[in-house]
Structure 1
């Protein structure tokens, strides 16, 4: 018996193969706002974008029926209501200036006016940067549109409460 035990102690164990690294699933593209953390008593009113006073005369505030060639909104992400503001019952608005680039993306976002100051600015800028537009077309080519403005209102809706 001692001889078999000695063989067992001297035998080399085969090394296991290292496991293959797990494949990472593709990251989902978020096109809609995450509303899972928003209470039913909070709503954010997202108005239309002012495209320099252009109007199609049909009462279409969103500009969906604007003249051919103008930038039209495709994706709008609503800003999240800041927890502190909701807890304190604060309401307000932010007026932002931005540029629509040739690809329809939003860039150069700046706060023009905010009431109360600095309370809603960060969430308003974050949401606006995710908006997408069909860019303005001039002579068959997309062009940048500078100095666009939008007002985002932050209001608590107590009617559903």
Structure 2
């Protein structure tokens, strides 16, 4: 029963509040009427359709007013003289050319021979001091033996004697980088065997 009473009383009140809020919002949204004053003065813009003609001043020029210019004279003619041929012979001017006997070359009188030679070094690179030996202050010598191929390349490098094993690898690598003029026998490059050399490993002071 109480809920029905509240419903009967609440519905008219809610409707009244809604109408009041609607009227207030309408008055806030709709602006006031503003009277627009008409302009008292009327602007008039006129454009002149007529184009004024401008008289250009013309100057009459005739051919008689231009000065007559004479062309330049032609260049002088240069006479060409023909060169006279010498009447004396060449031997009179520079002297008589001596005569030489033509040498006689026979195939049996000329011989070319290539002398034999041993292998000769062209590129010789010193071995690099081993870092481990340098840190320990070790000095010494190392003797190696190797062969030289007909194209001048060292091969078969072996250690003959070495004061320390630390110098062996450096000695072999140095010899492998050398280059030779090969040994020649009867004009033909041949292999050279048993070449020996020794390296001295000394620390700088």
Normalising by structure 1, we get a TM-score of 0.55
Are the equivalent residues in 1 in contact too, given 2:139–2:201 (CA < 8 A)?
A: yes
Query: Which residue does 1:72 correspond to in 2?
Result: 120
Deviation at 1:78, TM superposition (A): 1.2
Are the equivalent residues in 1 in contact too, given 2:145–2:196 (CA < 8 A)?
A: yes
Unaligned runs of 5+ in 2: 1-114
- Between Structure 1 and Structure 2, which shows a larger proportion of helix residues? 2
Report the secondary structure of 1:81's partner residue. coil
CA separation in 2, counterparts of 1:102 and 1:152? 25
Deviation at 1:119, TM superposition (A): 1.0
Q: Say if 2:149 is the partner of 1:101.
A: yes
Query: Which residue does 1:25 correspond to in 2?
Result: none
Are the equivalent residues in 1 in contact too, given 2:116–2:187 (CA < 8 A)?
A: no
Unaligned runs of 5+ in 1: 1-66
- Give the counterpart of 1:132 among 179, 184, 187: 179
**What is the RMSD computed on CA atoms of the aligned residues?**
1.2
Aligned length: 91
- Give the counterpart of 1:151 among 178, 184, 198: 198
Report the secondary structure of 1:107's partner residue. strand
Deviation at 1:71, TM superposition (A): 1.1
Q: Which has the higher contact order (CA 8 A, sep 6+)?
A: 1
Query: Which residue does 1:90 correspond to in 2?
Result: 138
CA separation in 1, counterparts of 2:188 and 2:171? 30
Report the secondary structure of 1:120's partner residue. helix
CA separation in 1, counterparts of 2:204 and 2:118? 33
Q: After the TM superposition, list the runs of 4 or more consecutive aligned residues in structure 1 that deviate by more than 4 angstroms.
A: none
Query: Which residue does 1:11 correspond to in 2?
Result: none
Per-residue CA deviation, residues 49-106 of structure 1 (Å, 9 max, x unaligned), is: xxxxxxxxxxxxxxxxxx9612111001111100010111000111001001100100
Normalising by structure 2, we get a TM-score of 0.43
- Between Structure 1 and Structure 2, which shows a larger proportion of strand residues? 1
